[in-house]
Amino acid sequence: MVEVNIQNVWKYYGKTVAVKELNLKCPENSFLAILGPSGCGKSSTLRMLAGLEHISAGDIFFGDLRVNQLPPKERDIAMVFENYALYPHKTVFENMANPLRLRNVNREEIDKRVRRAAELLQIEMLLDRKPMQLSGGQKQRTAIGRAIVREPKVFLFDEPIAHLDAKLRAHMRGELKHLQRRLETTTIYVTHDQLEAMSMADNIAVMHEGVLQQFGTPSEIYNHPANEWVAGFVGEPPMNFLNCRLERGADGVVAVHPSFRLALTDAQRRLLEEKGAEAEVRLGVRPDTIAYRAGAGSGLGIAAKVFVTEPLGGDMIVEVQLGADRITVKTKIGPSANLDEPCTIAFDAARIHLFAASNGIAYF
Amino acid sequence: MTDQVVGDTGRGSRGSARLAAAEAASPSGVRTIDYTPQRFNPTPSRRYYFYMMAPSIILLAGISIYPFIWLVYMSLHTLGEAGQPDVWNDFKNFTRFATDGKFQQGWLLLIKYSAMCMVLEVGLGVFLAVILNRSKLEKFLVTLILMPMMMAPIITGLVWLFLYNGAFGWYHWLLQSIGILGATSVLGDSDIAMFGLVAVDVWQWTPLITLITLAGLKRVPQDQLEANMVDGAGPVRNFFTVAMPNIYPFLLIAVLLRFMDNFRFIDAILILTGGGPGDATNILPVYLFDVSFQYFKLGRGAAVALTLLLVTIVLGMLLVKIFEDPKRKIKVHGGDEG
């Protein structure tokens, strides 16, 4: 319904700074996830959007309207809280009706809207219960119901499904995304779970230590991380990093590690030249792009030793000792290997990332 | 739909190996068990809890139940003085209430006194608690505000006696110079004396309400307040819809305590007015004191005390019931004011 625009926003709590120079734009009706570890400033950002925290510096716009000075009730937003924040003495119906009652909507309209929201969330049969009698998932649906009855301009979600068990969380991810697509409301969703951000959002803003690290679509964030920190934070299991040296050989540019030499592609070489790469680099490889075979001399280029294997049913995580470094490989399930058993691995040069060793900024 | 998650346990590897005859896979594909264990482990004995409590039960019985039985006995007899036997008097102590003007007036004055104290103390106490809860100087201010409560009621009475004194009392001078008070002193005017006493009680006991309410306010979940703000509530509405339900149980304790205290703390009143001028502040507990310990009609005094006790218990129970029923609490609020 409205574009959300955060311009040069800072947040101080006394002398500690929580958010630094944040610039973000959430296009109309799109789903923005703010992703980061705890203490990265993502919740502070959301609370400033909600009007629950003072904006220390900078401006927030909803469309053309500057909302800095507006109290929460005048911002036309709805928020779902981490611990649901249901009113324990009110029934589910009354909880959901609360925003409407506070805006003096008439009785029939309240009844109609609450029942419609309850139907959408499949909690019609719970309307007479108190929050204490609900399961975690039902509480969460009620909290979402309270947010959607009013058709606000912006939805704010503060880790709404973080406290559900793993299976229900996976289920609710799909439901929430479906709901957002159906209601077509600008949504800002704060989470520390990269899976939630990747699976639901149109755009992701990755934050760390109060600073926006990268803004982009989930695919951009995953495939073209802006720096080493983003690359390491997004992806499960996390990306492996190895210290390498770039050398110019007869076969073009080669990344040299004590255990292997990896020739880069022409496209990668051009990118390095464009960006004036230093010789010392960090090589980033995602675990699922590494080929693995058990046994000595099993045919892949790089000889290594097995540190431990972790079977996961269909897949297997193998931790491999490569000289002084240990890297994680994700492969199809195979026989478990004993400790220190020899194996071979290979990297796919087209799917590696290189970061400057000095500041972690990505070359590609 | 959410229930599916729960149903996912079952069919453990151990279970399927030992599938007994009584077990059968249900149609939904979940392993079920329909028998009970052959032998239950003994439930741990709880008897020693009773032994642990016994000393305090005996002590309590000694200091409160025994005197209570004596009270009932006394209220039913005319007590013989100096070695004479006590005489059963066919409930004369009670039947006399019908014609006892001071007894009836004592009740009216007690109700008036309690109602005024309660409304002022709860209103002021909650208001102070809300302010303190937001203040950065909370710890310091709480200590400060608690001081009147720390004072022995008899000392409070003496201090206020001086403050109200018609010759050199500071409050007397203040009230007179702003024109509220005429030629009489606060405690000497039968129209004003009651308010003078209420002021003393409010001064001394509002801090208790504040302290207890403050504890309740600490428990109000911040996210509920915030959710209500986002839903569209202003600060006042937010307080009454979210904070109030959370502090009701605390307020109940505070009101109950004050309510009972009003029926028995008469130290300050005895010092300040002793029930006067005339009988303007002769509330029932003061009257009870006079009957029992000035005129030594212990039988009649016991009867008065017993009615007081019964009313306290009934009102106390009523109060608890009303506060515990969330649907009726609004009415209580209205009732308090009126």
- Model pLDDT for residues A319-364, shown as the tens digit of each residue: 999 988 999 999 999 888 888 899 999 999 899 999 999 889 999 8
pLDDT at B32: 83
Strand partners, A10: A57
pLDDT at B329 over 50: no
The residue of chain B nearest to residue A83, with distances taken between CA atoms, is: B223
Single-letter amino acid code for the residue at A315: D
Whether B108 maps to a domain, the answer reads yes
Question: Mutate which of A47, A52, A153, A171 to disrupt the B interface (most B C-beta within 10 Å)?
Answer: A52
Neighbours of A65 (CB within 10 A): 13
**What's the rounded mean pLDDT across residues A106-118?**
92
Minimal-distance CA residue of chain B relative to A96: B231
The reply to whether B72 and B191 lie within a common domain is no
Nearest by CB to A85, from B5, B221, B241: name it: B221
CB contact under 8 A, B229 and A85: no
The pLDDT, as a whole number, for residue A136 is: 87
Write out pLDDT tens, residues B218-250. Answer: 888 888 999 998 888 888 888 888 888 888 888
Burial group, residue B77, by CB count within 10 angstroms (0-12, 13-18, 19+): middle
Mark yes or no for CB contact B5/A138 under 8 Å: no
Angle, to 10 degrees, between the axis of helix B101-134 and the axis of helix B193-218? 40
**Residues in chain A, how many?**
364
CB-nearest partner of A102 from B8, B232, B326: B232
Tally Cβ neighbours within 10 Å of residue B81.
8
pTM: 0.76
CA distance B284 to B103: 7
User: Chain A contacts of B241, Cβ < 8 Å?
Assistant: 87
Contacts of B226 in chain A (CB under 8 A): 50, 52, 72, 79, 81, 85
B118 and B213 assigned to the same domain: yes
Contact at CB, B231 and A87, closer than 8 angstroms: no
| Residue B319 pLDDT | 80
Burial A275-310 (b: 16+ CB within 10 A, else e): eebeeebbbbbbbebbebebeeeeebebebbbbebe
Residue at B145 is within a domain: yes
Same domain, B65 and B182: no
- If one counts the domains in chain B, the total is 2
* Residue B334 confidence (pLDDT): 35
Query: What is the predicted pLDDT for the residue at B330?
Result: 40
pLDDT higher than 70, residue B9: no
For residue range B119-168, list pLDDT tens digits in order: 999 999 999 999 998 888 888 999 998 899 888 888 999 999 888 887 88
Instruction: Give the residue, A142 or B80, on which the prediction is more confident.
Output: A142
| B5–chain A Cβ distance below 8 A for any pair | yes
Instruction: State pLDDT tens for residues B25-35.
Output: 566 788 888 88
CA-to-CA distance for B326 and B322, rounded, in angstroms?
A: 8
Going by pLDDT thresholds of 50, 70 and 90, the confidence category of residue A168 is confident
Give the tens place of pLDDT for each residue, A272-322: 888 888 889 999 999 999 999 988 887 788 999 999 999 999 999 999 999
Using a pLDDT cut of 90, give the percent of chain B over it.
14
Nearest residue of chain B to residue A139 (CA atoms): B2
Domain that holds residue B85: 47-93
Residues of B in contact with A89 (CB under 8 A): 245, 326
Query: Is pLDDT above 70 for A123?
Result: yes
Q: Is the pLDDT of residue A36 over 90?
A: yes
Residues B73 and B163 in one domain: no
Which uninterrupted H or E stretch holds A203? Answer: strand A203-208
Residues B84-93 have pLDDT tens digits of 777 777 777 7
Q: CB of B133 within 8 Å of any CB in chain A?
A: no
Q: Which of A70, A76, A79, A94 to mutate to test the interface with B (most CBs of B within 10 A)?
A: A79
Instruction: Decide if pLDDT at B97 tops 50.
Output: yes
Of A87, A103, A135, the CB nearest to B2: A135
Task: Indicate if B84 and B127 belong to the same structural domain.
Answer: no
B227 contact residues in A (CB cutoff 8 A): 79, 81, 85-87, 146
Nearest chain B Cα distance for residue A78, angstroms: 6
Shared domain check, B74 and B53: yes
Question: Above 70 in pLDDT, residue A84?
Answer: yes
- Contact flag A102-B245 (C-beta cutoff 8 Å): no
pLDDT at position B332 is: 37
Q: Which residue of B has its CA nearest to A154?
A: B230
* Encoded tokens for A39: 């203490």
> How many angstroms away from the CA of A270 is the closest CA of chain B?
52
B220 contacts in A (CB within 8 Å)?
none
Domains of chain A: 4-233 (3.40.50.300), 237-286+349-364 (2.40.50.100), 291-346 (2.40.50.140)
**Hey, are the CB atoms on A81 and B227 less than 8 Å from each other?**
yes
* Whether residues B61 and B180 fall in one domain: no
What are the residues whose beta carbons fall under 8 Å from the beta carbon of B259, sequence distance 6 or more?
B114, B118, B312, B315, B316, B319
Which of A79, A122, A135 lies at the smallest CB-CB distance from B227? A79
Whether residue B149 contacts residue B208, with contact meaning beta carbons closer than 8 Å, is answered with yes
Nearest to A9 by CA among A70, A65, A62, A61: A61
Residue B181 has pLDDT above 80, yes or no: no
Q: B14 pLDDT exceeds 80? A: no
Residue B207 has pLDDT above 90, yes or no: yes
What would you measure as the largest C-alpha separation in chain B, in angstroms?
Answer: 99
Residue at B19 is within a domain: no
B210 in the same domain as B87: no
Residue of A nearest to B7 (CA): A167
Q: How far apart are CA B130 and CA B182, in angstroms?
A: 37
Quick one: pLDDT band at residue B17, thresholds 50, 70, 90? Answer: very low
B226/A85 CB distance under 8 A: yes
Minimal CA–CA distance to A282: which of A246, A320, A321? A246
Q: Report CB contact under 8 Å: A167, B227.
A: no
A–B interface: beta-carbon pairs under 8 A? 73
- Judged by CB atoms within 8 Å, which residues 237-296 of B form the interface with A? 237, 241-242, 245
What is the predicted pLDDT for the residue at B96? 80
Distance CA A34, CA A55 (A): 18
Cβ pair A50:B230 closer than 8 A: yes
Q: Is residue B71 part of a domain?
A: yes
Q: Which of B1, B5, B245 sits opposite A165 (nearest CB)?
A: B5
Q: Do A79 and B230 touch (CB under 8 A)?
A: yes
Output the pLDDT for position B166: 78
pLDDT range class, residue A97, cuts 50, 70, 90: very high
Q: Is residue B168 part of a domain?
A: yes
B-chain CB neighbours of A130 within 8 Å are none
Residue B31's pLDDT is 85
Residue where a domain terminates, one of B60, B75, B93 = B93
Residue B297: CATH number of its domain: 1.10.3720.10
pLDDT of amino acid B26: 61
Rounded CA separation B235/B249 (Å):
21
Assess whether B183 and B245 both reside in one domain.
yes
In a domain, B40, yes or no: no
d(CA A193, CA A34): 10
Strand partners, B209: none
Q: Which of B69, B93, B117 is the last residue of a domain?
A: B93
Q: Do B227 and A85 touch (CB under 8 A)?
A: yes
pLDDT range class, residue B328, cuts 50, 70, 90: very low
Phi, psi of B18 (to 5 degrees): -105, 25
Search chain A and give the residue with CA nearest B221.
A85
Which residues of chain B are within 8 Å of residue A78 when distances are taken between CB atoms? 230-231
In a domain, B39, yes or no: no
Q: Which of B93, B108, B126 is the last residue of a domain?
A: B93
pLDDT of residue B189: 79
Q: Which residue of B has its CA nearest to A87?
A: B224
Clarify whether residues B67 and B144 are in a common domain: no
> Residues A51-76: what's their mean pLDDT?
92
> Sign of torsion, CA B326 B327 B333 B335?
negative
pLDDT for B331 equals 38
pLDDT at residue B56 in the model: 92
Task: Compute the half-sphere exposure of residue B53: CA atoms within 13 Å on the CB side of its CA.
Answer: 7
The band of B273, judged by pLDDT with boundaries at 50, 70 and 90, is: confident
Q: Is the CB of A78 less than 8 angstroms away from the CB of B230?
A: yes
CB contact under 8 Å between A73 and B233, yes or no, is: yes
**Average model confidence (pLDDT) across chain B:** 81
Residue B10 covered by a domain: no
Phi, psi torsion values for B43, nearest 5 degrees: -75, 135
Shared-domain flag, residues B311 and B219: yes
| ipTM above 0.85 for this complex | no
SS3 content of chain A, % helix, strand, coil (to 5): 30, 35, 35
Q: How confident is the prediction for chain A on average, in pLDDT?
A: 91
Please check whether residue B321 touches A, CB under 8 A: no
Structure letter (DSSP) for residue A287: G
Mean pLDDT to the nearest integer, B292-320 = 85
Testing the interface with A: which of B1, B3, B4, B5 to mutate, by most A Cβ within 10 A?
B5
The percentage of residues in chain A with a pLDDT greater than 70, rounded to a whole number, is 100
pLDDT at A60 over 80: yes
Tell me what the mean pLDDT of segment A135-158 comes to. 90
Question: With contact defined as beta carbons under 8 Å apart, do A73 and B233 qualify?
Answer: yes
Interface with chain B: mutation pick from A91, A98, A173, highest number of B CBs within 10 Å: A98
Q: What average pLDDT does range A225-240 have in this prediction?
A: 93
Cβ contact, residue pair B242, A87, below 8 Å:
yes
> What separation in angstroms does the CA of A95 have from each of A106, A111, B321, B330?
16, 12, 25, 19
Element (H, E) at B230: helix B222-231
User: Does residue B134 sit in the same domain as residue B264?
Assistant: yes
At B325 the pLDDT is 62
CA distance A64 to chain B (A): 21
**Within a 10 A sphere around the Cβ of A260, how many other Cβ atoms?**
20
Q: How far is CA B93 from the centre of its chain?
A: 29
SS3 A66: strand
CA atoms within 13 A on the CB side of A34: 32
For B99-111, what is the mean pLDDT? 86
Q: What is the C-alpha separation between A219 and A212, in angstroms, rounded? A: 17
In angstroms, the separation between the Cα of residue B120 and the nearest Cα of chain A is 27
Q: Provide mean pLDDT across the span A195-218.
A: 94
Name which of A72, A82, A87 is nearest B230 (Cβ-Cβ).
Answer: A72
